[in-house]
C-alpha cells in the first residue's frame, strides 16, 4: 500500500479517519458508489486564487458547484480565479484530481461548504487516484481549521 503526503499528514495529526482505496472512477457518482457513500458526501477540493501567491481550498460536495458571487462576498474580494493544472500542482504538490488540503506543500486556508454538516461521514481525496479519506465532517473541519460557509449551489 503506497503512502501519500495526505495519508502521512492525517495520520501524524491524529485525525480519526479511514482510508478507502478504489479503482480510479470515471465520475463522482461512480466514485461515491464504489466507496459506499452518497454523492453529497464526496468532496472535491478546488484550488482558488485570490491574488499573487495567495490561494485557498474550497471543499465542494459532488452534485454541487461553488458559487462565485457567494465566495467573493464571503472573502470580501471582487476577483477570484482558478489556476491551471500546472499552477495548482506547483502550489499544492498534487496533480489535478488528487488535490487535497491534507499534506499540501502549503497550508492554504480552507472553506468547506455548509452542506457537509448534514453528512455522517465525508470523503476527501487522499493524495493519489483511488485513495480516499473517510472522516466525520466535524473532524475534517477541526483538522483543517476550515471555515464552514454556504458557498455552493446545486449543479444544473
Per-chain mean pLDDT for the chain: 95
Residue 87's φ and ψ, nearest 5 degrees, are -65, -40
pLDDT recorded at residue 88: 96
Domains of the chain: 5-154 (3.90.960.10)
Show the low-confidence residues of the chain (pLDDT under 70).
1
Contacts of 80 by beta carbon, 8 Å cutoff, 6+ apart:
48, 49, 50, 68, 71, 72
Rounded to the nearest 5 degrees, what angle is found at the Cα of 102, between the Cα atoms of 99 and 103? Answer: 90
According to the model, what pLDDT value does residue 4 have?
95
Radius of gyration of the chain measured on its C-alpha atoms: 14
Question: Which residues fall within 8 angstroms of residue 114, CB to CB, at 6 or more apart?
Answer: 148, 149, 150, 151
3-state secondary structure string across 110-154: EEEEHHHHHCCCEEEECCCCCEEEEECHHHHHHHHCCEEECCEEE
pLDDT recorded at residue 1: 59
Q: Report d(CA 76, CA 91) in Å as an integer.
A: 23
pTM (predicted TM-score)? 0.95
Return the pLDDT at 156. 79
- Lookup result for grid cell 492525517: 10
Amino acid at each position: 500500500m503506497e503512502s501519500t503526503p495526505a495519508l502521512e499528514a492525517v495520520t501524524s495529526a491524529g485525525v480519526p479517519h479511514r482510508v478507502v482505496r478504489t479503482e480510479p472512477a470515471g465520475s463522482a457518482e461512480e466514485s461515491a458508489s464504489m466507496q459506499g457513500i452518497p454523492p453529497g458526501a464526496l468532496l472535491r477540493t478546488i484550488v482558488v486564487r485570490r491574488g499573487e501567491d495567495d490561494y485557498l481550498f474550497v471543499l465542494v460536495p459532488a452534485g454541487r458547484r461553488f458559487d462565485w458571487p457567494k465566495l467573493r462576498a464571503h472573502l470580501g474580494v471582487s476577483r477570484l480565479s482558478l489556476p491551471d493544472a500546472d499552477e495548482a500542482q506547483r502550489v499544492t504538490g498534487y496533480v489535478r484530481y488528487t488535490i487535497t488540503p491534507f499534506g499540501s506543500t502549503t497550508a492554504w486556508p480552507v472553506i468547506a461548504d455548509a452542506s457537509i454538516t448534514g453528512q455522517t461521514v465525508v470523503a476527501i481525496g487522499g493524495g493519489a487516484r483511488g485513495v480516499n479519506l473517510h472522516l466525520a465532517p466535524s473532524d475534517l473541519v477541526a483538522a483543517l481549521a476550515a471555515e464552514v460557509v454556504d458557498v455552493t449551489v446545486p449543479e444544473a
